Structure 1
Amino acid sequence: MRSELPFGEKLRAELGVPARGRRLDSSPRSRVWRAELSGTPVVVKQLVDGPEATERYDREVTALKLAARVEPPVVPALLGTDPDARVLVLEHVDHRPPGEDWVTGHATALARLHAATGPDDTGLLPAWSGPVQGDIDSFLALAATLDVPEPPGVRAELEGLVARLRTAPGHALLHGDPCPGNDMHSGGGVRFIDFEQSSLGSGLVELAYLRIGFPTCWCATAPPAPLLHAAEAAYRATWREATGTDVPDDLTDACAGWLLRGDALVQRAYRGTTDHLALLPGQDWEWGTATARQRLVHRLGVVAAMTGDGNGRHGAELRGLGRLATDLRRSMLTRWPHLRPLPRLRP
C-alpha cells in the first residue's frame, strides 16, 4: 500500500518523506492511510473523485481550521494540505474505548466545537439546510398511504416549522455528521473527524441527535433517559461557559425537522436519489444498527412526546403534528408488530 500513498512533492517539501504507509478503512468517498513522518504517526486522507468532491474537501479544510481555535482541541491538528490532489495530512489521535457515559463527553466536545464560530464567520462555510416543502409532501403522503388521517391545520404547522428552521438564528460550526465513529476518544478528550458536510447554523440541530436517535448515522441508538438528560445538560453548561449565552430550551423544532427528512433513513450515498418515505410502506431496509421503520417509529415517538401536550413554545405550535405522529406511530406498530425499539446506546 505504500506506493499508493498520495504524498506529492508539495507535501514532501513541507513535511518530509512519509514512511510505513498503511491503508485504513474509510467511506467510499475517501481513502485514508496511517503513515509516519520522522517517526511521528500521522493520518493521510484523500477525497476521491466524485460528485462535489472539491466542495467536500474545501468544507473539511475550512472546518478544521476554524475548529483549531478551540483549546483544548476538539479536532486533530491539520498538518498539511494538497488541494490539487484533495489530500489532508492530520495529527494521529490515539482512540481509546469510551466509557459507559461516553455520550456526555461527546456532547461536551460538540458544544465546544459549535462555539468555535460566530457572526464574523458568516460565509466561510455554507449555511445549514433543513427540510423543504417536498419533505412535507412526502411525510403527509406516507400518512395517507398508511390510512392515517391528516389533522386539520397540520400542513400549515409543518410549513411554519420549515420556515422557522430555515431562518433559525445561529452561527455554530456544525459537523454535519456528528456520529459515534466520527468522534475519537483520547486521553485529552473527544476530537471530531470527517468534516466533509460541515456548515454554519443553529447548534440545536446537532444537539437534537442525542434525542432523535443520531439521524444521519449508521448507529441509530437511544440513550437511557438519565444519560440523555445528563448529556444535554453538559452541552448547555459547556456552551454557556464558552459563549456567555444560554442555549434555547426547546428542541422540538429541531427534532421535528429530522422526522420529516426521508433522506435521514439512508446512508449518504443514497440521499437525494428518491423519495425514501414513499418506499417505506412496501419495504424495510437495514442500515447499521436499525431498519428504516425502526428509525422512523423512534422519531415519531420522540416528536409525539414533545408536541402532544403542547409544552414549550414550539410544542404548542405543532399540536397537530403531535397527534399525527402519535397516530402514525400506532399504525406502523399495528401493521408491523415485530418492530423493535432502537438499541440502547452503548460505547
Structure 2
Amino acid sequence: MESIVRAAAGLLDTELSEPIDLGGSRRSTVLRCRSADGRSVIVKAYADEPDGLRAFAAEAAGLSLGLAGPELLAVDTAVPLLVMEDLGTAPTLADMLLGDDPGAATEALLTWSRGLGRLAAGSTRRHADLLRLRARYDKGVPSREDEAWVAERATGLLALLDAAELPVPAGLPAELKGIASAIGADPLGFTPGDTCPDNNLLTPDGLRLIDFESACFQSVFLTAAYCRMPFSTCWCVFRLPPGMAERIENAFRAEVATVYPALADDSIWHAGIRRAIVAWTVDMTVALLARTSAEDGPSHRTRRPVPTLRQLLTYRWETARTLAEFPAFAETMRLLLREVAAGWAVPPMPGYPAFTRA
C-alpha cells in the first residue's frame, strides 16, 4: 500500500495520506486517499499478470474516453496505476435492491437502464477513439474485444459436458457457432463492461458508473440482456417482480433505438436478446460450475443477502431452458437441471428484498 500511495503522490505532485482500502479484487488494489489540499481521490493499482494488465488498459482507455465514470486525473503505465476523481459514497443500485423501499428500487432500476442505454447510444461514433486510447495503454494482453470469448466459452461448455460424461444434444455445436457469429455482427455500443448493480452510484446528479476494467464496445444486446435475465454476470441476482424486467429493458431499448432504428422491430430486438441470454448463460456455466461441483457457497464474499452459486446457476438454467429458438441449447439446460441441479436441492431463487419486504 505504501508504494502505491507514493507512486500516486508522485503523479499528482502532492502528498497523499490516510489510505483506505476499498476492497479491489485479485486484479487490482483500490484505495481512497486524502490529498494535501483536503481533496479525496481514488487510487487504483493493477496486478502484474494478464488479467490485471488487461484491466488496466481497458480502464485507462475507457475513462480517458470521457463518456462516463469518474474523471481520470493521472495514469502511470509503468506501475501500472491510475488516479481518478472520488465520486463519494452515494448508494448503488445494489443497495436499493437489497433495501426495503420498492419505489426507490424501481426508480433506481430505471435510472440504471436508461443511463446504460444513453451511454450506448451516445458512443456510436467513438469506437475508433477507444481503440486508439487502448493502444496507448496496451500492456501486451488482448482486450475483450479482441478475444472471441463467446466462441471460446461455447467450446468450454462442450468440454464441460464431456468431462461430466453428459451427452451433447444433437445440433448444439452448430447452434452455439451460429450464435457467436450473429453476436459478432450486432450493433455496438460502449459499456464499462461490468454493469452490475454495485458498479454504479446513484448520486444527486444522476447515475455515475464505476469499474471500467472491462470497458469496450460490445453488442448492445449483451448489455440489454442484463435487464431481462437480470444482471447476467453478477452476484446481486434475485427475481424481479412481474413486468419489471420488461419495463427496464424497454427503457434501455428506447435509448439505443434512437441511433439504431432497426431495433424498434420486435423480431430483431427479441432475437438479439435471446442470443445474448445464451451467450451469458454459457459464460456463467463455464465460469461457475467447476466451483460448485464439490460444495456450494455465497455469490459474494461479504454482501448479504445473496443467492448461493448453485442457486444462481439453477436460476440461469431454468430461464434458458425456455429458449425454443435454440432447441439443442434448451435441451442442454434441461439436461443440466436433471443431471446436476437436481442433486443440489437448493431452494428456489427468491425475489429482491426491496420488493418482498414491503
TM-score normalised by structure 2 residue count: 0.76
User: 2 CA distance for matches of 1:169 and 1:6?
Assistant: 44
Distance, in Å, in 2 between the alignment partners of 1:228 and 1:7 is 44
Answer 1 or 2: which has greater helix percent.
2
Shift of 1:120: 5.5
Q: Which runs of 5+ in 1 are unaligned?
A: 267-275, 309-314
* Distance in 2, Cα, partners of 1:107 & 1:135: 30
Determine if the alignment matches structure 1 residue 24 to structure 2 residue 22. Answer: yes
- How big is the shift at 1:61? 0.8
Q: What does residue 287 of structure 1 align with?
A: 299
| Amino acid paired to 2:70 | P
SS in structure 1 of the partner of residue 254 of structure 2: helix
Q: Which residue matches 1:342?
A: 349
Residue identity (%): 25
Contact between 1:211 and 1:302, CA under 8 Å: does it hold in 2? Answer: no
Deviation of 1:212 (Å): 2.9
Q: Pairwise mapping of residues 285-324 of structure 1 onto structure 2 (< 5 A)?
A: 285-288=297-300, 289-305=306-322, 307-308=323-324, 315=325, 318-324=326-332
- Counterparts of residues 32-43 of structure 1 (less than 5 Å): 32-37=30-35, 38-43=37-42
1:211–1:119 Cα change, 3 Å: same
Residues in 2 aligned to 1:76 and 1:346: alpha-carbon distance in whole angstroms: 29
| Alignment partner, residue 89 of structure 1 | 83
Residue 159 of structure 1 pairs with residue 171 of structure 2: no
1:196 aligns with 2:195: no
Residue among 155, 158, 168 paired with 1:134: 155
Deviation at 1:9, TM superposition (A): 6.2
Asked if 2 retains the 8 angstrom alpha-carbon contact of 1:143 and 1:328, the reply is no
Q: Contact (CA 8 Å) 1:45, 1:89: kept in 2 or not?
A: yes
Which amino acid counterpart does residue 253 of structure 1 have in structure 2? R
* Mapped partners of 1:6, 1:249: distance in 2: 50
Q: Deviation per CA, 1:156-195: give whole Å up to 9, x if none.
A: 2233223323x23233213222112211221112212121
Matched positions, count:
315
Give the distance between the partners of 2:226 and 2:198, measured in 1 at CA. 14
| Kept in 2: contact 1:220–1:343 (CA 8 A) | no
User: SS at the partner of 1:225?
Assistant: coil
1:221-267 residue CA offsets vs partner (Å, 9 max, x unmatched): 332232211111111122234x363544121110011222256644x
Residue 54 (1) aligns with residue 53 (2): yes
Contact 1:173-1:201 at 8 Å conserved across structures: yes
In 1: Cα distance, 2:50 partner to 2:227 partner: 30
State the superposition RMSD in angstroms: 3.0
Equivalent residue runs for 1:254-293 within 5 Å: 254-262=276-284, 265-266=287-288, 276=289, 283-288=295-300, 289-293=306-310
Segments of 5+ residues of structure 2 without an aligned counterpart are: 97-103, 135-142, 301-305
Aligned equivalent of 1:180, options 185, 189, 197: 197
Instruction: String of CA shifts for 1:288-312, please: whole Å, max 9, x gaps.
Output: 233333222211222222x23xxxx
- Write out per-residue CA displacement over residues 86-122 of structure 1, whole angstroms, 9 at most, x where no aligned residue: 2222111133334322222221222223234336624
Residue aligned with 1:249, SS: helix
